[in-house]
Amino acid sequence: MKKISVYILAYNEADKIKDALDSVAWADEIVVADSYSTDDTALIAQRKGARVVQIDFSGFGNLRNDAISACSHHWIFSLDSDERCTEQAKQEILSIINATDSLDAYYVPRRNYFLGKWIRHSGFYPDYRQPQLFRKGVLKFKPDAVHERYDVLSAKPCGYLKSHIFQIPYKNLEEVIHKANRYSTLGAEKLIESKKAPGLFKAMTHGFWAAFSLYILKLGFLDGWPGFIIALGNFEGTFYKYAKFYLTKHPPAESQWDKLADWKSGDTC
């Protein structure tokens, strides 16, 4: 029987990490790549038998490369803290890694749930993100802050699992807002590296397109309230990404803050 490592990315995921770990308890090794969580994420992972490696966060691309390097076995399956491996996916994964004619990398379909509903549209199913099952040394991520690109270092084509895993991308509305804020900051850093020119028109058009493509072109309106909230969240996240990018290039003048300080001190002149 071939052995497999699972790596899980985590940061302050104490309310999610246990279920993620339980869903891959069958693996020969579980590596939790933690970025110095301030909650009990690392403690819970250690109690569940996972090996926790602490990695400074310098973008998701670098984080994934470091997590892969920490894995011991020839086959690797990646899982995020908000994902759950199903029994069907487990059986298919074990069949693949023990077959003699397996490919080198496989995409895994994800079934997303939000507000208690399976999101069938909005581009959320089958939602192939990146190869999640692969041989070590085959997948290399670029050092992107977010929405990390990757290279598949194999002459073989990528395969596709038939069995899906579960994902709960947002546990509530607060997490939609939190992720829009965090990912827009990381996205702004990526834009800075791209040398693109910022502007209000770009912020509006990119934000509108992000929402329109999910809600109309990808039929998100068929998902009801969850579909609308997802589209609106994508508008906000995209808009604020470009807005934050603009502010890095055009920060408020220092004199404006001086005037504010004068106002606070009672000087209205």
Beta strands in 29-109 (DSSP E): 29-34, 51-54, 75-80, 83-84, 105-107
Beta strands in 109-265 (DSSP E): 110-114, 117-118, 133-135, 139-141, 150-152, 159-160, 165-167
Task: For residue 194, name the pLDDT band (cuts at 50, 70, 90).
Answer: confident
Higher pLDDT, 265 or 142: 142
pLDDT of 265: 60
pLDDT of 195: 76
* 263 has pLDDT over 80: no
Share of the chain above pLDDT 90, in %: 79
pLDDT of 259: 62
For the chain, the domains span 4-167, 173-249
> Which whole number is the average pLDDT over 105-111?
97
pLDDT of 120: 95
Give 157-182 pLDDT, tens digit per residue: 999 999 999 999 888 899 899 989 99
Mean pLDDT score of the chain:
92
Task: For residue 55, name the pLDDT band (cuts at 50, 70, 90).
Answer: very high
Report the half-sphere exposure of 137 (CA within 13 A, side-chain side).
Answer: 4
Higher pLDDT, 263 or 123: 123
Asked which of 109-113, 177-181, 219-223, 255-259 is least confident by mean pLDDT, the reply is: 255-259
**What H or E segment, with its residue span, contains residue 6?**
strand 4-10
Residues 114, 127: contact at Cβ < 8 Å? no
CATH of 4-167, one of 3.40.50.300, 3.90.550.10, 3.30.1780.10, 2.170.190.11: 3.90.550.10
Give 1-24 pLDDT, tens digit per residue: 899 999 999 999 999 999 999 999
pLDDT of 224: 95
Share of the chain above pLDDT 70, in %: 94
pLDDT of 131: 97
**What H or E segment, with its residue span, contains residue 192?**
helix 173-194
* 197 has pLDDT over 90: no
